[in-house]
Amino acid sequence: MTAHWLILSISRSHGVSAIYDAVEALAYPVKCLQYVPAERDSVYAESSCIVVNGPATAIERLQLTRAWKPIGWCDRHVFAASTLVRHWSEYALQQNFQLISLKDLAKEKSRIFSALSIQDQVFARPDAHDKIFDGKLVTLAQFDAWQSQLLNDQIPPETLCLIGQPISIDAEWRIVIRDGKVLTSSSYRVNGRFDKSVPAPSGAIEFAEHVAKAPFPNLPQMYVMDVCQTDGKYGIVEIGSINCSGFYGCDLHAVISAVSELAVSDWKRLQLTNQ
């Protein structure tokens, strides 16, 4: 048994080619599609061991409609921002925040800005891991128009938003965790500039492994952890699914090999469970 890869190019197209080339170089079967036909046994046989890379919502849909296993490790509850701050609160970057539905933001605006704003700004992002809208700083003057635009864009009114205090980040790294250890890493932003050329420093690696040695329930064996440094301290910006994240300057061969090994292991375990 070997892992078969399916790369969805619906979004994140900037990283699709690099992932595809790396999978192909490692001789794993791989296909790249914009969408997956509904017919059973299309693309790959239903009994195949499949790893999908692509948008979280598309992977969730495939998990419900296809018999492929394991497909991915991207439970929306595990990777929600609120899960991170609940289970790893002492390590999370965001310490001062509120969770409010999109529809309730306008009526809560005064309370939000009174409690959280710095220079009349708050940071806003969706709680869910699929990032239905982009996180950004929003000023008091922009707040009503920003909320209205999201609703006009058909973002569901019940969407839970994390509204936090703005924090200045000196540097941020994407770190891939496997079994509580750092597998590979890459800078993401350094001194306000996008930069994927620098591996995480030893301090960030030690911090990530210290946190990862105490995983919370249902956290998979592999995932990505975004670690930042601010005012000389490390914090976790977010955690994400290995199937739905960009890898920047990380060692793609190491990631793909590890994910493929995990997929085969999970596939075998699921076969035994279903016997």
Contact 100, 181 (CB under 8 A): no
pLDDT above 70 as % of the chain: 98
Q: Which residues contact 157 (CB under 8 A, 6 or more apart)?
A: 101, 102, 103, 151
In this prediction, residues 94-121 reach a mean pLDDT of 96
Q: What is the pTM of this model?
A: 0.93
Which residues lie across from 6 on neighbouring strands? Answer: 31, 52
What is the mean pLDDT of the segment spanning 88-98? 95
Q: How high is the pLDDT of residue 10?
A: 56
What digits encode the pLDDT tens for the residues 147-161? 999 999 999 999 999
- pLDDT beyond 70 at 118: yes
| Cβ neighbour number for residue 191 with a 10 Å cutoff | 8
What are 200's two structure tokens? Answer: 């995480």
- Chain segment 207-233, per-residue pLDDT in tens: 999 999 999 999 999 999 999 999 999
Two structure tokens written together for 256: 């793909």
Contacts of 104 (CB under 8 A, 6+ apart): none
* The token pair that represents 209 in the structure block: 């492994």
pLDDT at 14: 55
Distance CA 113, CA 210 (A): 34
Q: What percent of the chain has pLDDT over 90?
A: 87
Residue 103 has pLDDT above 60, yes or no: yes
Q: Which two tokens stand for residue 91?
A: 């390590």
Residue 60, C-beta contacts closer than 8 angstroms, at least 6 positions apart: 74, 76
pLDDT at 3: 98
What are the tens digits of pLDDT across the range 3-60? 999 999 855 555 788 999 999 999 999 999 988 998 888 999 999 999 999 999 999 9
pLDDT at 11: 52
Question: Does residue 29 have a cis peptide bond before it, meaning omega lies within 30 degrees of 0?
Answer: no
